[in-house]
A and B are shown apart, each in its own frame.
Chain A
Amino acid sequence: MRNVFGMLAAIGIQTLAMPAYALAGEVQTHAFDVRETVRLVRQDCGSCHGMTLQGGLGTPLTREALAGQSAATLAVIILHGRHGTAMPPWKSLMSEAQAQWIAERLLEGFPEEIQQ
């Protein structure tokens, strides 16, 4: 299993300073804390999706379960939730860039949290 640091090395540490992701043609200039984001997904998304993301009250978010979906679609679900289901909209708590980053990592198989 890959850890955050291995992954950071793979995608380039500059993600921490300034994510180079663009959504709707607009370059996000603000940074987010990758370590905290991994923690958020494992711990807080995990309260519904399971800390291993293999599902709980929410559906599994493993690479296999999400295969075939696009990161953009998943990012929209993360930001706006799914009406009529327990999936809440996270847009008040995260940026589009952060949601996009989470969506891309989910599709690859989400990294493990680093224990301090």
Chain B
Amino acid sequence: MSRRLLDRTWLALRLVLGCALLAACAQVPLRGTGDLGIVIERANGRVAIVDTTAKSVLGHIDGLGDLSHASVVYARDGRHAYVFGRDGGLTKVDILLQRIDKRVMQAGNSIGGAISQDGRLVVAQNYVPGGIKVFDAETLELLSEVPTESKVVGLADMPGQKFGYALFDKGEIWITDLTNPRVPVTQKYPAGLQPYDGLVTPDGRYYLAGLFGEDGIALFDSWHPEAGARKILENYGKGEEKLPVFKMPHLRGWAVAGRNAYLPAIGRHEVLLVDTASWRETGRIPVKGQPVFVMARPDGRQVWVNFAHPDNGWVQVIDTLKGEVVQTLQPGKAILHMEFTPRGEAVWLSARDDNAVSVYDTQSFTKLMTLPAQSPSGIFFTSRAARMGF
């Protein structure tokens, strides 16, 4: 045997031995997670792990419980994710090994959660019993809770280990400081009637709560907490009869493009534009139905909008320079969610009733790929790991 062959045999042997020790080595080649994501398959309580480069499904993680209205936040390692189920299940998954790391039942009825600035705390927002619960992100040990006696909506992380959220039944914005996670310190601010969702601006400074019970949005400036929450876009309906709202809009898909924020109007088939410097309304764009998600492509040139039943088969694209709808698509029977790839060359759309996820090129609006998924709803890419409010 030549020396070279011996060397090679030895190398191969070492690889085999190394892999035998690292049990997962055989199934999981060494790779990053920057182009991975999770698609919720709500019908059968599982999630699909997807690759946005290959546009393919890598595998599934089963056993996550009731995933209707489920949401996901990522650990800052971009490898672990926390899935919040409707049944109050909180599951930490490893998307590389495609398995559940830990799972706890934390409440009776929950809709989502958030992760702290330093990545050490995961917080769940609950309808029943109302309130937030604080968990150690590593172990999912319960550290503390803040009871609210109201359904909690719009939980979002803010700088300084703080979390903002809104109380649907009490009409308040609460800001909880978890610097000491076992001793939460909460400030409460009157906001307006029936806040239905909330968001934090990309810089973490402002917390906004959309109001259902009255026209307008409550705005809280965390740099001026003494000023409390004030109302913006007041009376945007100007006394007109509201159209029925068959699905609550979501605000978390925060859309800021240039200096404007794009927000769904309630009970009107319009997207509202607000100047983020003055917080004044600067325009309205008529759209096809009641907007649900209004999301900006990462470069801000486009804003994509999907709609409530019965218009949920449509998606419209606003050109932010022209200030109007430039494209109307019919990607499927019930488009529940949209997610842009990290730099926005493509958008993934979940078509619930077609049991499919469709990938569109955002420049040409052509469909690049259709992937099978059972009753897909939320799509969450790992690029969220580094974004405040996601």
- A116 to B247 Cα, complex, angstroms: 24
From B109, B153, B247, B375, contact of A44 by CB (8 A): B247
The total number of A-B Cβ pairs within 8 Å is 63
Interface 1/0s, chain B 61-88, versus A by CB < 8 A?
0000010110000000000000000110
A51 within 8 A of B: yes
User: Are A46 and B68 within 8 A (Cβ)?
Assistant: yes
Asked if A86 and B69 sit within 8 Å, CB to CB, the answer is: no
A37 part of interface (Cβ distance < 8 Å) = no
Question: When chains A and B are docked, how far (Å) is the Cα of A44 from the Cα of B247?
Answer: 8
CB distance A44 to B68 under 8 Å? Answer: no
Size bin of chain B's contact surface? 20 to 34
Cβ of B130 to closest chain A Cβ, rounded Å: 12
Closest to B213 in A: A84
Contact check, A50 vs B86: say whether CB atoms are below 8 A apart: yes
Which chain B residues lie closer than 8 Å to A81 at the CB level?
244
Q: State A67–B387 Cα separation when bound (angstroms).
A: 46
Question: With an 8 A cutoff between CB atoms, is B142 at the interface?
Answer: no
For B309, list chain A residues within 8 Å (CB).
40, 44, 47, 93
Q: Say what secondary structure dominates the interface of chain B.
A: loop
Distance of A43 Cα from B212 Cα, bound (Å): 21
Residue B337 is within 8 A (CB to CB) of chain A in the complex: no
Identify the stretch in A3-11, A18-26, A54-62 within 8 Å (CB) of chain B at 4 or more residues: A54-62
- A55: chain B residues at CB < 8 Å are 109, 127-128
Known contacts A43-B334, A44-B309, A52-B86; decide if A88 and B68 are in contact (CB<8 Å).
Answer: no
How far apart are the CA atoms of A92 and B151 in the complex, in Å?
Answer: 29
Chain A: residues with Cβ within 8 Å of the partner, total of 24
Q: Which applies to chain A's interface (DSSP): helix, strand, loop or mixed?
A: loop
Q: Say yes or no: is A31 at the interface (Cβ < 8 Å to chain B).
A: no
Q: Does A115 contact B (CB under 8 A)?
A: yes
Bound together, the chains give a CA A113 to CA B130 distance in angstroms of 29
Task: Give Cα A92 to B311, complex, Å.
Answer: 13
Within B245-276, the residues touching A (CB, 8 Å) are 245-248
A residues less than 8 Å from B42 (CB atoms)? 51
- Cα–Cα distance between A56 and B128 once the two chains are bound (Å): 8
B310 contacts partner chain A, Cβ-Cβ < 8 Å: yes
Beta-carbon nearest neighbor of A115 in chain B: B43
Task: Determine if B128 and A88 form an interchain contact, defined as CB atoms under 8 angstroms apart.
Answer: no
Which residue of the partner chain B has the closest CB to A116? B355
Cα distance, A115 to B87, chains bound together (Å): 21
Whole-angstrom CA separation of A77 from B352 in the bound complex: 27
Complex: how many Å from CA A50 to CA B111? 10
Q: Give B87's nearest chain A residue, CB to CB.
A: A52
A48 within 8 A of partner (CB): yes
Question: Smallest CB–CB gap between B70 and chain A, Å?
Answer: 10
A89 CB within 8 Å of chain B = yes
CB distance from A90 to the nearest CB of B (A): 8
- The answer, among A39, A88, A116, for a CB contact under 8 Å with B246, is A88
Residue B196, interface by CB 8 Å: yes
What's the nearest-Cβ distance from chain B to residue A53, in Å?
A: 10
- Whether A57 pairs with B127 at a CB distance below 8 angstroms is yes
Checking B69, B128, B168, B355 against A47 with a beta-carbon cut-off of 8 angstroms, the contacting residue is B69
From residue B134, how far is it (CB to closest CB) to chain A in Å?
Answer: 22
Contact in complex: A56, B244 (CB < 8 Å): no
Q: Residues of B contacting A48 with CB < 8 Å? A: 247-248
Determine the distance from Cα of A89 to Cα of B247 in the docked complex, in whole angstroms.
12
Cβ contacts under 8 Å, B316 to chain A = none
CB distance from A86 to the nearest CB of B (A): 6
Contact assessment for B86 and A56 in the assembled complex, using a CB-CB cutoff below 8 Å: yes
| Chain B 39-73 interface 0/1 with A at a Cβ cutoff of 8 Å (1 = within) | 00011000000000000000000000010110000
Q: How far is the CA of A43 from the CA of B310 in the complex (A)?
A: 12
Residues of A within 8 A of B (CB): 39-40, 43-44, 46-48, 50-52, 54-57, 81, 84, 86, 88-90, 92-93, 115-116
Q: A47-B248, A56-B86, A115-B375 are in contact. List 5 more A-B contacts (CB 8 A).
A: A44-B247, A44-B309, A50-B69, A84-B213, A116-B355
Interface CB pairs A-B, < 8 A, 12:
A43-B334, A44-B247, A47-B69, A47-B248, A51-B66, A57-B153, A57-B196, A86-B245, A90-B246, A93-B246, A115-B43, A115-B375
Residues of B participating in the A interface, judged by any CB pair closer than 8 Å: 42-43, 66, 68-69, 86-87, 109, 111, 127-128, 151, 153, 168, 194, 196, 212-213, 244-248, 309-310, 334, 352-353, 355, 374-375
